[in-house]
Structure 1
Amino acid sequence: MKIWLSKNSEVPVREQLITQITLGIISGDLPVGEKLFSTRELARRFKIHANTVSSAYQKLSEQGLVEFKKGSGFYNCETKQKDSDGETELDALIAAFFQTAQSNGFSKDEIQNRLQKWFTVKPPEQFLVIESDKNLREILIEEISQTTNFRVIGTSFEEFAKKHYNKNAIFTAMINEKPKIESVLPADKICFYIKPRSVSDSITGETRPQQNDLIAVVSGWEKFLSWSKTILIAANIESDSIILRSTAEKDWKKGLKNAFLIICDALVAKEFPNDKRIRTFRLIADASLSELKDFSDNKIVP
């Protein structure tokens, strides 16, 4: 187990030692029964007083994390790791948080004020998708709605810039919108930026159609149509075998019964329940959807 100490930090060296050894024990980095560094060894290595190390070990011993064996030294023991209330683990995590925050230049007052906000602000219960293209916005809303248990609403960038939104929502937008949004984002808020799903992820596992099979691409978002066609052509699908249908057009379903496959977005897929020809190409990367789900499941306050 490695230990790092900073003698110039606001956090006392003794507390740094206690925190790092505690985390090492909890994480399993320091196995049960393993002997800890001797007091003299740590004092000599970091050029600190031996009493500082001894005091840290004494505190860990009081917490039941280490035990002293006469004539041998201190060893990791498992007595406290299994406490039902988990106080030792929680204290270690809190101590590590404070140490990290203070080492990054945040004062105790700043940390306390920010924590107070986290504890008092009402947890968010909805996502706000910021996207000026209405058709794309509706697709993103649908994908997020299918994955999370939050209400999902949307707005244009122009309306967002005017601060016409629910301040208790979690803001989210495609990653390419970041420069614009950061220019108007309130200082006390964050925006979760969605990463797009890769082409390889979209077509992995798909069976290649026969040469004369007709493939339909359906969406209300024009770029979905053009991008999908480009991907299919790149996959050596004949251009003549591809038909494009925009849901903005009247009778857009006409002729789709002859299609071997129907590639569409998540919103259009709802129009074809139980149709085995449907292949939904999602726009949001699985990793981004997973993170959004974590937000909604845990109601994290950004």
Structure 2
Amino acid sequence: MRLWLNRIGDISLREQLITQIIVGILCHELTPGQRLPSTRDLSRRFGIHANTASAAYRQLESEGWVELRHGSGVFVRTSRPNAPLSPEMAVDQMLGDIATKARKLGVSDAFLKARMRRWLALEPPARWLVIEPDPELLRIVICEMEQAVTLPVVGCGFEECSTSVMLEGSMPATLPSKVLAVRKLLPTGTELVTLQVHPVAPELQAYLQRYMPEHSTDLLGIASRWGDFQRIAQTMLIAAGFAPESLLVRDATKPGWKRGLDTTTAVLCDAAIQHDLPAGTRAIVFRLFDEASIKDLRSHEENLTTPDRN
């Protein structure tokens, strides 16, 4: 993974380093178990103080992104799963676990079979339900999913996600960082789809590579209603060598947010705001879902809506 650090502007070197490592992990440029550069290497390559790199790694460790191994270095956090079971063995194991737990509750085999038949006879979901507490991030996820899938897509926050009104006829889905919280809120046994995201769009990477001779004089716009999008995009561009004064950041929740965007070379934006930009503006859309993620979504939807032909 290529790192960019820039001393121009108000964003600290530590924050630039943390942001780029997290983005690298999320988009799979940094793989589980991969060793990261040592603090000494970072200090030598970028001329930063070793304490700055060390502080960044400690924060990443506290947030669960990396593992500090004494005497060995810093590694992307990973789990070590056992060899995967065949589909048949995996299903048998799950059904066996269900039967064992049911018998411990005093449930008869006949009752268990009846409940299983009822569950299998239920109608497939008629819509996607995206569960996300941040309304602006929810807006972006729904927009991208509507462009990718066939079923309708609706959304809600944590407060409404466990209600029968929202869950009935729905396939709940959430982002990886919210899975644990959402599972605690949903009724036991409710299926939950984890939406795999790819936060660095190829369009952005190509644009940064094109302008890597460090100080571009182009005026670039950043536009979104989502505050984290504005922050991450600004951090990435400054780290890549763009001067802060060459970036025009617009919060699309505020009146007059389009002002000046038509004078930029291009505007980095999310999918939900793309069509609200001034006419003639060149948009570089920063998407959460890449082609692999969209393929997974469509495959999951097909499994939900296609009757079993066996």
TM (normalized to structure 1)?
0.60
**Correspondence 1:20-39 to 2 at 5 A:** none
SS of residue matched to 2:169:
coil
Q: Structure 1's 275 and 298: CA in aligned 2 closer, same or farther, altered over 3 A?
A: farther
Q: Does 1:261 align with 2:266?
A: yes
Q: Which moved more, 1:191-200 or 1:211-220?
A: 191-200
User: Does the Cα contact within 8 Å between 1:126 and 1:152 map onto a contact in 2?
Assistant: yes
SS of residue matched to 1:288:
helix
Aligned AA for 1:150?
L
Question: How far did residue 276 of structure 1 move?
Answer: 6.5
1:236 corresponds in structure 2 to 241
1-structure distance, mates of 2:288, 2:261: 22
1:296 corresponds in structure 2 to 301
Q: Structure 1's 137 and 97: CA in aligned 2 closer, same or farther, altered over 3 A?
A: closer
1:172 corresponds in structure 2 to 173
2:275 corresponds in structure 1 to 270
1:122 corresponds in structure 2 to 123
User: Does the Cα contact within 8 Å between 1:222 and 1:246 map onto a contact in 2?
Assistant: yes
1:101 corresponds in structure 2 to 91
**Correspondence 1:119-268 to 2 at 5 A:** 120-199=121-200, 201=202, 203-206=204-207, 208-209=210-211, 211-268=216-273
Cα deviations by residue, 1:128-176 (Å, 9 ceiling, x for unpaired)? 1111111111110001000111100110111114554132111111111
User: Does the Cα contact within 8 Å between 1:128 and 1:154 map onto a contact in 2?
Assistant: yes
Q: Structure 1's 164 and 257: CA in aligned 2 closer, same or farther, altered over 3 A?
A: same
Aligned residues: 205
Cα deviations by residue, 1:38-71 (Å, 9 ceiling, x for unpaired)? xxxxxxxxxxxxxxxxxxxxxxxxxxxxxxxxxx
Aligned AA for 2:131?
I
SS of residue matched to 1:102:
helix
Aligned AA for 1:248?
T
1:6 corresponds in structure 2 to none
1-structure distance, mates of 2:93, 2:226: 47
SS of residue matched to 1:204:
helix
Q: Structure 1's 160 and 100: CA in aligned 2 closer, same or farther, altered over 3 A?
A: closer
1-structure distance, mates of 2:153, 2:291: 18
2-structure distance, mates of 1:97, 1:114: 19
1-structure distance, mates of 2:127, 2:117: 22
1-structure distance, mates of 2:302, 2:278: 27
Cα root mean square deviation, aligned: 2.8
Question: How far did residue 295 of structure 1 move?
Answer: 2.5
2-structure distance, mates of 1:193, 1:283: 13
1-structure distance, mates of 2:196, 2:117: 29
2-structure distance, mates of 1:299, 1:162: 21
Which of structures 1 and 2 has the larger relative contact order (alpha carbons within 8 angstroms, sep 6+)? 2
User: Does the Cα contact within 8 Å between 1:148 and 1:297 map onto a contact in 2?
Assistant: no
Aligned AA for 2:152?
R
Aligned AA for 2:297?
L
Question: How far did residue 259 of structure 1 move?
Answer: 0.4
TM (normalized to structure 2)?
0.59
In the alignment, structure 1 segments of 5+ residues that lack a partner are 1-95
Q: Structure 1's 293 and 236: CA in aligned 2 closer, same or farther, altered over 3 A?
A: same
SS of residue matched to 2:189:
coil
Aligned AA for 1:195?
Q
Q: Structure 1's 202 and 114: CA in aligned 2 closer, same or farther, altered over 3 A?
A: farther
- Whichever of the two has the greater Rg, that structure is 1
1-structure distance, mates of 2:175, 2:203: 18
Q: Structure 1's 117 and 231: CA in aligned 2 closer, same or farther, altered over 3 A?
A: same
Q: Which moved more, 1:138-147 or 1:101-110?
A: 101-110
User: Does the Cα contact within 8 Å between 1:202 and 1:282 map onto a contact in 2?
Assistant: no
Q: Which moved more, 1:201-210 or 1:123-132?
A: 201-210
Q: Does 1:287 align with 2:292?
A: yes
SS of residue matched to 2:129:
strand
**Correspondence 1:38-49 to 2 at 5 A:** none
